[in-house]
Amino acid sequence: MTELAPRVLIIGLDSATFDLIEPWAAQGYLPQLARLMAEGAHGPLASTLQPTTAPAWTTFMTGVNQGQHGLYDFVRRRAGSYNVEVTNSTHVKAPTFFEIASQYGQRVISVNMPYTFPPRAVNGVMVGGPFAPAFTREVVYPPELFETIKALAPDYFILTEYNPRATDPRAAYAQALLHEVELRENVAAHLMQTQLWDVCAVVTMATDEVQHTFWQCLTVADDDPLAPYRDVIREVYQRIDRMIGHLIELAANDGTGRPTTVMILSDHGAGDLRWMINLNQWLAEAGYLKFQTEKTGALKNARARSMQRLMHAYKRMLPSSWREAIRVRLGAQRFHRLKGEFESALVTAVVDWTQTRAYSLGAGGNIFVNLAGREPQGVIQPGAEYEQVRTELIAQLQQLSDPETGAPIVACVHRREEIYHGEELEYAPDLIVRWRDHACWGRGLYGNQTPVFEAQRQFDFSDQPLSGTHRPEGILILWGAAIRSGERITGARLLDLAPTILKLLNLPVPEIMDGRALAVVANSPEQATFETPLKLKQAATEHDYTPEEEALITQHLKDLGYL
């Protein structure tokens, strides 16, 4: 009898954490996850540094470090200027397991995987995920499936909008997140039943979104005004648990009899937020960054504050349906001037670059040296001066302490070459801060009106509550006949999952992959490797964000406190 070819079902839960899953599973709230953990193998999953969506999901898909795939953050500095550009799949410089499987003739399905927009040509279906600006034909490969998905889910969307104009904005947001899970489930289920597939992946961002907004509600007292929202995070996990059961059932009962391995993972974990650390303000106070102080600088600062008020009004007053229509319909040329003002006022125009030696950009804790020959107005010379500045910054950053407790908050500061390697190293930050407790969250916010330590409890430009942030440890659950049952997984990294998936599919692994297949995979043949990297597929449609799209995605990232 011919052995049936194995396949893999991947369900990604952005920001999911065992800190919540394990007790809720034990209490009976998450029966599907409880069964998968008991019958399969599970354990913590080390994220990237920084533990954010862009590098983490890209590392998962490629199995290589950031120095090879090239994504370090949601944004990066444009060559020849200090403005930033929003990153997307065209910036990913390594093949994904979707492409590798495709080139071996296997069929793939991907729904809402971050950084698959614009989608690349695959042997199967790819419905792009964050951070596509809106759900349009350009988000789907092959594009003719867009109409099918719109007919199945007419209100399909990429990310849930918080509506501060609702009668009860928190309750409305909670319902919208549950609907988000339903949309992902419906589309994935439809594709699983109508398409041939060997590897199918679906990702929900609802776990991340609900934890950012409702984390503080988990532990409030009965008489607290937030008590009605105490179970919102659990309810989202319970809805996802039902989705997991449904998709596993579809795979088991599709008539093929093929053995399916189930992989549940998160790109990072979650926890409470204590401090936003505005690193550019710290750099300014330490003498490494200079804000404009002349009349022109004051004017730019005033403009920045005006733009902040404008964007706050935009989020507060416009219904989410209107904002969606703007994203789809507003012409790029009409938005070009506003986009330019937004970038200049809120990103870099308030900095005097001729007197700035270092600056922070993006999410988590990334610092760049204002290097001559690389930055347009770089003042630090390569070589000895560059190394001296990095050494000084490391020493001073390690002195950072909690302003209330006095406890040190920096575990270590890495030089980029210590943790990354590859042809894309040039895009890496020069220094990467690793926090002792990721309740402290660094960011490269520009502007001299903010304190270094900010006890922020709302998203920027919005009334949306913010009380949760990321942790460097995500989750991994493996289940199926190919998995050693009952094992606790230790030492797993996001880097290891792409080669593990290829092993589960009985495919060879490119030698360029930094990760290694996990030993918990049982009864599989010795894995082959090959030296020549597979050809990197280009996006089905080359895409540069329009000024309107880029400004609005940038705004969304600022809303989340990432910029």
Please indicate, yes or no, whether residues 174 and 290 belong to a single structural domain of this protein. Answer: no
Q: Is residue 165 part of a domain?
A: yes
- Note the pLDDT of residue 550: 59
- Note the pLDDT of residue 322: 47
pLDDT digits (tens, 9 = 90+) for 23-77: 999 999 999 999 999 999 999 999 999 999 999 999 999 999 999 999 999 989 8
- For helices 53-62 and 497-504, what crossing angle results, to 10°? 30
CA atoms within 13 A on the CB side of 290: 12
Residue 14's domain spans which residues?
7-269+470-536
Q: Is residue 1 part of a domain?
A: no
Please indicate, yes or no, whether residues 263 and 305 belong to a single structural domain of this protein. Answer: no
- Note the pLDDT of residue 428: 97
Please indicate, yes or no, whether residues 255 and 336 belong to a single structural domain of this protein. Answer: no
Please indicate, yes or no, whether residues 455 and 476 belong to a single structural domain of this protein. Answer: no
- Note the pLDDT of residue 461: 64
Please say whether the beta carbons of 112 and 202 come within 8 A.
yes
Please indicate, yes or no, whether residues 350 and 237 belong to a single structural domain of this protein. Answer: no
Q: Is residue 98 part of a domain?
A: yes
Q: Which residues pair with 41 in a beta bridge?
A: 478
pLDDT digits (tens, 9 = 90+) for 249-275: 999 999 999 999 999 999 999 999 999
Residues of the chain below pLDDT 70: 1-2, 294-348, 447-448, 461, 523-563
Residue 61 token pair: 């898909």
Domain count, the chain: 2
> CA distances (Å), 224 to each of 168, 203, 526, in order?
16, 33, 57
Q: Is residue 2 part of a domain?
A: no
For the beta carbon of residue 368, count every other beta carbon within 10 angstroms. Answer: 19
Residue 380 token pair: 């630090």
Residue 290 token pair: 């200079």
Q: Is residue 113 part of a domain?
A: yes
Q: Is residue 542 part of a domain?
A: no
Please indicate, yes or no, whether residues 264 and 282 belong to a single structural domain of this protein. Answer: no
Catalogue the E-assigned strands of 472-520. 473-479, 492-493, 509-510
DSSP string, 389-423: HHHHHHHHHTT-B-TTT--B-EEEEEEHHHH--ST
- Note the pLDDT of residue 548: 58
Q: Is residue 546 part of a domain?
A: no
First to last CA, the chain: 57
Please indicate, yes or no, whether residues 300 and 375 belong to a single structural domain of this protein. Answer: yes
Do the strands 440-443 and 275-278 form a parallel or antiparallel pair, or are they unpaired? parallel
Residue 195 token pair: 């398409």
Please indicate, yes or no, whether residues 213 and 325 belong to a single structural domain of this protein. Answer: no
Considering just the CA atoms, what is the radius of gyration of the chain in Å?
23
Please say whether the beta carbons of 380 and 386 come within 8 A.
yes
Three-state DSSP state, 231: coil
Please indicate, yes or no, whether residues 104 and 244 belong to a single structural domain of this protein. Answer: yes
Q: Is residue 499 part of a domain?
A: yes
Please indicate, yes or no, whether residues 530 and 490 belong to a single structural domain of this protein. Answer: yes
**CATH number reported for the structural domain that contains residue 527 in this entry:** 3.40.720.10
Please indicate, yes or no, whether residues 261 and 292 belong to a single structural domain of this protein. Answer: no
Instruction: Return the closest-CA partner of residue 452 out of 315, 229, 277.
Output: 277
DSSP string, 275-286: EEEEHHHHHHHT
Please indicate, yes or no, whether residues 340 and 447 belong to a single structural domain of this protein. Answer: yes
